[in-house]
Amino acid sequence: MIDTYLIPLVKILFVLNATLIGVTYMVLLERKVIAWVQVRLGPMRVGPYGILQPIADAVKLILKEDITPTRADKWVFTAAPIIVMVPALITFAVIPFGPVVNLFGRQVPLYITDVNVGLLYIVSVASIGVYGIILGGWASNSKFPLLASLRASAQLISYEVAVTMTLVSMIMTAGTLSMVKIVESQYDQHLWFIFVQPVAFVLFFIGGLAETNRAPFDMAEAEQELTGGFHTEYSGMRFALFFLAEYANMIVVSSVATTLFLGGWLAPFPNVGWLSFLGYVPSWMWFLLKTFAFLYVFLWVRATLPRYRYDQLMRLGWKVLIPIAIANVVVTGIVKVLF
Amino acid sequence: MTTHTGQMFDTEELVINMGPQHPSTHGVLRVVLRLDGEKVVSSDVVIGYLHRGIEKLSENRNWTQIILLTDRMDYVAAATNNVGYCQTVEKLMQIEVPRRARYIRTAICELQRIASHCLWLGTHAMDIGAMTVFLYAFRERELILDLFEEYCGARLTYNSMRIGGLPLDIPVGWDRKVLEFCTIMSEKVDEYEELLTHNRIWLERTRGIGVITAEQAIAIGLSGPPLRGSGVPRDIRKDEPYAAYDEMKFDVPVGTSGDTYDRYLVRLEEFRQSIRIIRQAIQGLPEGPIVGKVPRLIKPPAGETYHAIESPKGEIGYFIVSDGKSTNPYRFRVRPPSFCNLQALPQLIKGHLVADVVALIGSIDVVLGEVDR
Amino acid sequence: MAQSIAFYVLSTFILGFAVLVVTTRNTVHAVLFLVLNFLAVAALYVLLTAQFLAVIQVLVYAGGIVVLYLFVVMLVNLKRPPEDHMAPQRHNWIGFGLSALVLVELGAIIGYGAVAPAGPVGAQTSDLALNNVERVGMLLYTDYLIPFEVASMLLLVAMVGAIILAKREL
């Protein structure tokens, strides 16, 4: 009873809350990191060094008036933010934060579940999130959001192809779709997959930036062009859901990248004898460290690079990334067969 | 949808109203875009949201009070406007300006040019999505504003010139601070270039965008960096020197292809040339009075004159008619560079995408206060 | 027990959404009900421990194809159907023909199911849950190789056709 129901339930609650808190603090982290890049201080007023800023923001957004434009499609308008947020959250079900550990005398795996199609599950759930963006823009019944949502959906669909093709080469390398087994396979091969598949890593990183609508691919919310993008007409908590979903997706992409390429919860060089002291750091700590390192790169890129233009972005996706991804799959296959 | 013969669906152009409240139209510019997909088919530029009637107002102010009004036109380069106006009146009254005043005017004009270009660079980069450059450029602009504050007490609308010279001599130690700033600035220009000039995305966003040939540019009446970006080496500082420019050594950067990237390069090179001029002006600053022989009551003789100087945005010219009897101008007319350069916009953005529209508005560097006056 | 409850609940949803797809006036809403329908079908697959199929159903149909439907519907913005398509008699006859075909097919399935009862399912489920992807892969590349290749040819032809249609001057 405890093993089948209670423990998973506790884990789900824990992961959900940790994610939501992580997401709100991600916003603060982004503001701080970009502020430091831009020789500013960032939020400093709420709490010491602004660490309570996310709470103030949340309170503000909840208290704000929730406006639905008169001529908007009411049901779709309401559903859109939810459609964006839910896939971002349920992806965490298959992300392994650590191996099976001994907790209070009980063997507890540090992941909610391990399904044999884990990686595909993440891809398919992520593909549902596109609906929120398209519908949000369409239901607003306004021109700028419509343009933005068309841009966003075309972008997401194109880059999904590239990312999925990249993941295919990773599946071939690991020989499994299960997220846990992918990490274990990196342990068995004594090598993080970033060293086996560097091209795939770069492709996944670029694709991940585009999939999460981040700079330099933040076409959909290019505020300088489209005055905010698909969520222009949203206010209050509904806007916050769009906003938080973007950050949740960033965390998802980072977690997947960590699992696939950076050895998940494994300490660096687990088989090198004199580095064994790294094993004293708990496994979930390594996972978080790697994920945040990856997230930091996201922010760093945003602070540094200008924005691509929409047609250039599509050209990059279809004419550069997808061919390279397919070539990578073919090369991986050949290498797999030969060795 | 109505059905026509053989055609199942109509296609229609999407009309989008960009501005007057849009984050990247640099004020209250309104551009009505007709889009086919995301491609601009045609556009109308609507101006006048910031019209304050400065030209008419000036006809009811006395000659000294007008200096204050000129501040309000191109408010990111107020000192240049002051210089232009004062020189026009001086030309009308044939007043000799002392050499020291001319040197200080030159230095101030060039400081103002750097400040204006900083603002342009920041907003232009921001429009294309590079938001860090915005804050870096404003950091340096802040230093210039501090210098201006020390010189005349104001940070935006300086009122820093008088007919016949300057209201004040430079404060003690100001010249040293300006030279220090020059050292800082020349490093920072390299920093901007590091971030943008060879950035692949920046190149893809600006190269070949909004190309305007030298002939077209002259036909439209462009001036300043947009004209020089097309390869026309026209610079009033060189061609018809005023203040102390005839004694300064500097180069006029010109582009080759007349696209957004060339206009960007021209302005970045102007940063360096301005620093060079400021160094010469401050280091060779002569001693002497700062105001020439100006009568108590400024009442120019009857006549009319046109005088133009090179503002950061292009040729700012003043056409003034005096009837010789009253203490205010009979006719006051400004040729603002932003207004004339803005005429090129519909031609520039035609056939480009929405994302390029903001890049192009940024690349011609308009200030709506000057367009509408 | 729990499985049957889940099955009937899901079936109700699937049928309900299917009815809504054809009856809703607003085309965008109809497409959305189609998505919900596909998601419910995917849940049904999970119930049958066919996780791979479920994930592919979501990825390809709900996440891919219907997005394109939505694109078309949004861009074309069909407030009311074009008159050309309103010739009632002709369409009625096609409709009746298709419905008859579907009825015959359903009858055949039910009849066949009654004659030959389902094989022993329980014995294989544990294995299925663990090696779902491998099983599907093996089947595709052994028993169903020719249909699989034919399907991929068909897709290739469709892709080439779409490119030719979209790009008038090649």
Task: For C9-23, give the DSSP string.
Answer: HHHHHHHHHHHHHHH
Separation of alpha carbons A124 and A81, rounded Å: 18
Q: Which residue of C has its CA nearest to B5?
A: C84
| Contact in structure between B72 and B85 (CB atoms under 8 Å) | no
Q: Which residue of C has its CA nearest to B2?
A: C82
Contacts of B178 (CB under 8 A, 6+ apart): B107, B111, B147, B278, B282
Judged by a CB distance cut-off of 8 A, whether residue B297 touches chain C is: no
- Kindly determine whether residue A120 and residue C132, on different chains, have CB atoms separated by under 8 Å: no
Tokens of B323: 């009837």
Confidence at residue B2, expressed as pLDDT on a 0 to 100 scale: 39
CA A64, A69, A74, A78 dihedral sign is negative
Tokens of B298: 């400024």
Q: Which amino acid is at C135?
A: R
A289 pLDDT tier (thresholds 50, 70, 90) = confident
Q: What are the structural domain ranges in chain A? A: 68-107+114-338
Instruction: Tell which of B30, B141, B354, B356 to mutate to test the A interface (max A CBs under 10 Å).
Output: B354
Query: Measured between beta carbons, which residues in chain B are less than 8 angstroms from residue A224?
Result: 23-24, 126-129, 358
Mean pLDDT score, A200-215: 84
Separation of alpha carbons C91 and B174, rounded Å: 88
pLDDT digits (tens, 9 = 90+) for A250-259: 888 898 888 8
For A:137-176, CB contacts with B below 8 A are 143-144, 147, 151
- Kindly determine whether residue A120 and residue C52, on different chains, have CB atoms separated by under 8 Å: yes
CA A258 to chain centre: 11
- Chain B: nearest CA to C12, how far in angstroms? 36
pTM of the model: 0.81
Question: Residue A76 pLDDT > 90, yes or no?
Answer: no
| Contact in structure between B150 and B177 (CB atoms under 8 Å) | yes
| Contact in structure between B298 and B260 (CB atoms under 8 Å) | no
Judged by a CB distance cut-off of 8 A, whether residue C82 touches chain B is: yes
Q: What are the structural domain ranges in chain B? A: 49-372
Tell me how crowded residue B179 is: count the other CB atoms within 10 A of its CB: 13
Tell me how crowded residue C99 is: count the other CB atoms within 10 A of its CB: 10
- Kindly determine whether residue A127 and residue C62, on different chains, have CB atoms separated by under 8 Å: yes
Q: Return the CATH fold of B49-372.
A: Cytochrome-c3 Hydrogenase; chain B (1.10.645)
Confidence at residue C156, expressed as pLDDT on a 0 to 100 scale: 92
The low-confidence residues of chain B, meaning pLDDT below 70, are: 1-12, 23-25
Question: Residue C74 pLDDT > 80, yes or no?
Answer: no
Look at residues C54, C55, C14 and name the one whose alpha carbon lies nearest to residue C37.
C14
Judged by a CB distance cut-off of 8 A, whether residue A125 touches chain C is: yes
- Chain B: nearest CA to C21, how far in angstroms? 22
CA B326 to chain centre: 32
CA B166, B167, B172, B173 dihedral sign is negative
Subunits that touch chain A (at least 3 Cβ pairs < 8 angstroms)? B, C
- Kindly determine whether residue B1 and residue C78, on different chains, have CB atoms separated by under 8 Å: yes
Residues in chain A: 339
Judged by a CB distance cut-off of 8 A, whether residue A269 touches chain B is: no
Query: Measured between beta carbons, which residues in chain B are less than 8 angstroms from residue A142?
Result: none
- Kindly determine whether residue C76 and residue B3, on different chains, have CB atoms separated by under 8 Å: no
Judged by a CB distance cut-off of 8 A, whether residue B173 touches chain A is: no
- Kindly determine whether residue A143 and residue B354, on different chains, have CB atoms separated by under 8 Å: no
Separation of alpha carbons C134 and B191, rounded Å: 55
pLDDT digits (tens, 9 = 90+) for B206-247: 888 888 888 888 888 888 888 888 888 888 888 888 888 888
Residue A23 Cα distances to A113, A197, A235, B312, angstroms: 22, 29, 19, 45
Mean pLDDT score, A254-273: 80
C102 pLDDT tier (thresholds 50, 70, 90) = very high
Judged by a CB distance cut-off of 8 A, whether residue B127 touches chain A is: yes
Q: Which residue of C has its CA nearest to A175?
A: C134
- Kindly determine whether residue A128 and residue C63, on different chains, have CB atoms separated by under 8 Å: yes
Angle, alpha carbons C8-C13-C16 (nearest 5°): 120
Q: Which residue of B has its CA nearest to A223?
A: B23
Q: Which of A76, A117, A157 sits opposite C28 (nearest CB)?
A: A76
Contacts of A62 (CB under 8 A, 6+ apart): A236, A237, A240
Confidence at residue B7, expressed as pLDDT on a 0 to 100 scale: 47
| Contact in structure between B62 and B74 (CB atoms under 8 Å) | no
Question: Residue C154 pLDDT > 90, yes or no?
Answer: yes
Q: Which of B23, B196, B353 sits opposite A309 (nearest CB)?
A: B353
Q: What angle separates helix C27-47 from helix C2-23, to the nearest 10 degrees?
A: 160
Longest dimension (CA), chain C: 61
Contacts of B82 (CB under 8 A, 6+ apart): B67, B70, B71, B158, B159, B160, B161
Percent of chain A whose predicted confidence (pLDDT) is above 70: 94
Q: Which of C77, C79, C83 sits opposite B3 (nearest CB)?
A: C83
Q: H or E element: which one contains A109?
A: strand A106-109
Q: Which of A143, A219, A306 sits opposite B202 (nearest CB)?
A: A306
Separation of alpha carbons A231 and A147, rounded Å: 11
- Kindly determine whether residue B196 and residue A305, on different chains, have CB atoms separated by under 8 Å: no
Separation of alpha carbons B320 and B89, rounded Å: 8
| Contact in structure between C59 and A120 (CB atoms under 8 Å) | yes
| Contact in structure between A165 and A113 (CB atoms under 8 Å) | no
For B:1-20, CB contacts with C below 8 A are 1, 3, 8-9
Judged by a CB distance cut-off of 8 A, whether residue A310 touches chain B is: yes
Separation of alpha carbons A50 and A54, rounded Å: 9
Q: Which residue of C has its CA nearest to A137?
A: C74
Confidence at residue C104, expressed as pLDDT on a 0 to 100 scale: 92
Look at residues B156, A170, B329 and name the one whose alpha carbon lies nearest to residue A178.
A170
Q: Which residue of A has its CA nearest to C73?
A: A138
At which residue do the structure tokens 């504003």 appear?
Answer: B145
Tell me how crowded residue A333 is: count the other CB atoms within 10 A of its CB: 13
- Chain A: nearest CA to B21, how far in angstroms? 10
Q: ipTM greater than 0.85, yes or no?
A: no
Q: H or E element: which one contains B32?
A: strand B30-36
